[in-house]
Amino acid sequence: MALMITDECINCDVCEPECPNDAIYMGEAIYEIDPHKCTECVGHFDEPQCVQICPVACIPINPAHVESRETLMQKYERLTATKAALPQPPSAPSAGV
């Protein structure tokens, strides 16, 4: 299951940086969650971090994207494999070299 942010969102900005999958982004009026990236933090944490930190409790399960824990783990594995395959920026040269 992916999560969703309801229109009760107050745009407090605390959820976005907590998402390990970068699934949360600013929509037209409130924050939104990309269901293709949301794993409910499966693979990263025991509980969804955005739900834990949200001060107005506006992040329920998205009924349009019901997924099993196994499916969420497969999504996590796919997302982390994709992220690992991306080219990394070059390291800064060490001082004194």
Tens of pLDDT, residue by residue over 44-57, are: 999 999 999 999 99
- Average pLDDT over all residues of the chain: 91
Q: For residue 51, which of 60, 63, 43, 42 has the smallest C-alpha distance?
A: 60
pLDDT band at 30 (very low <50, low <70, confident <90, very high): very high
Residue type, 88: Q
Rounded CA gap, 56 and 37, in Å? 23
Report all structural domains of the chain as residue ranges with CATH numbers, in order of start: 16-83 (3.30.70.20)
Tens of pLDDT, residue by residue over 57-90, are: 999 999 999 999 999 999 999 999 987 776 766 6
User: Could you tell me the pTM of the whole model?
Assistant: 0.83
